[in-house]
Amino acid sequence: MMNKVILIGRLTRDPELRHTPNGTAVCQFSIAVDRLPDQNGQRQADFISVTVWNRLAENLAKYMSKGRLIAVEGRIQTRNYDNNEGKRVYVTEIIASNIQYLESKNTGNSSFANSSNYEQSDNSQPMMDAPMETVDIEKDPFESFGESVAISDNDLPF
């Protein structure tokens, strides 16, 4: 059996770092992922909920902000709970095991790429698998692809 998803999208809001009662870092956020244009050529997006844990959550909150492009790798998880009104609520979300920062927090469409690798354990808490990579943020990783494309906040679907 396989449960794996890879998405590229833009953060819909600034990530907010929280901690569980035992001190484990957790960050829940959503990303806007473009769909193919419909029959009328209209572009649409899906807004996907993502949860990250531990150092991956801390780094995301530290380096990323609303509108920044990221790649998320993880697994789909469903859960349900009863809300305050007694109604059953069903949630489908991505539990991230790896995130790549495709833009920096401070410079928009810049030459910044980074990733953190985590391995999912049986107790649904990610455990660190490898140290965070160090990437030269002054070098443009896309320079061999030609001219850069500037994307403003007005181009975002949210």
DSSP string of 65-91? -TT-EEEEEEEEEEEEEE-TTS-EEEE
| Domain spans, the chain | 5-155
The H or E element containing residue 127 is strand 126-128
pTM of the prediction? 0.64
Give the pLDDT confidence score for residue 71 in this predicted structure.
Answer: 96
pLDDT value at position 58?
Answer: 94
Q: What is the mean pLDDT of residues 70-97?
A: 94
Q: Give phi and psi for 67, each to the nearest 5.
A: 90, -10
Mean pLDDT across 129-146: 46
pLDDT tier for residue 38 given thresholds of 50, 70 and 90: confident
Q: What is the pLDDT of residue 10?
A: 95
At 49, the pLDDT band (50, 70, 90 cuts) reads very high
Indicate the CATH number for domain 5-155.
2.40.50.140
Average pLDDT rounded to a whole number, residues 73-87: 94
Residue 154 pLDDT more than 90? Answer: no
Mean pLDDT of the chain: 77
